[in-house]
Amino acid sequence: MSRTYKRILLLMMGGSGTRFGAPVPKQFVEVEGKPTFSYLVEKYASIDFADRMVIVCNGDWVDYTREWVGNLGLGIDWAVVNGGASRSESVKNGLTEAAKSAVAGDIVFIHDVTHPYVDEAHLEELSAAATAHGGATMGECQYDTVYGIDPETRMLERVIPRQTVVTGASPEAFEFSRIWGIYSTLSVDELENYTSAGALALAFDIPIEVVPTDLINLKITYRNDMEAFKKLFHNYYF
């Protein structure tokens, strides 16, 4: 049966890359002649998953991003919008753009481009979970021993049962009207109390199902992460 709702993808790439320590933000560092973000953009377009793509971009790189994406010939409705001074403001800006065409029942997916892979095998499950509950997220299950520590002394305090924790992964997914109903009513300052859309959704009682991901949950934050991506990306993109 065909879908009766739209899938809207927010690609979050508004960061300045301070921790990365390069002349350009990490999402624009070139790998084999292409900016890192373009691999994720092309991957999503190639699997024909989303109906619309909203790229939330570092303000200094909006024109560059629009030109690059325009030259890709994606065959999907897309827009590039200016990110904000913080992650929360950037998500709000992306949702504001998405709201121009979204209706109740549509699902919005929020993918941070510093997570450069797409778990294609579980996207449909993620979409179904968000439709059923209002929210869902990819999550990496933990198989090593997980400890709780004193953050000041760094001394171990307890063992946390690993079956009770996951590491968050991209994308998160939400029924659009529910997550937009929160972002649209809170100020940017109020949104700063939450580290992610998932944290905000939990605080406002949106149930979130975890869909375990099988992919390596690489996040490009530091230069050594980029080096790991360069070594691994041929196994995924080619």
How many C-beta neighbours within 10 Å does residue 124 have? 11
Report the mean per-residue pLDDT for the chain: 90
Distance in angstroms (rounded) separating the CA atoms of residues 138 and 161:
20
**Mean pLDDT calculated for residue range 23-28:** 82
Return the percentage of the chain with pLDDT > 70, whole number.
Answer: 93
208: confidence class by pLDDT, cuts 50, 70, 90: very high
Burial string for 149-175 (b: 16+ CB within 10 Å, else e) reads: eeeeeeeeeeeeeeeeebebbbbbbbb
The alpha helices in the chain, defined as continuous H runs, are 36-46, 62-70, 87-98, 123-133, 176-183, 188-191, 197-203, 223-237
Distance in angstroms (rounded) separating the CA atoms of residues 176 and 68:
28
Q: What is the pLDDT of residue 1?
A: 41
Domains of the chain from N-terminus onward:
7-237 (3.90.550.10)
Is the pLDDT assigned to residue 20 strictly greater than 70? no
The structure's pTM equals 0.91
Question: pLDDT tens, 125-169?
Answer: 999 999 999 999 999 988 899 999 999 999 999 999 999 999 889
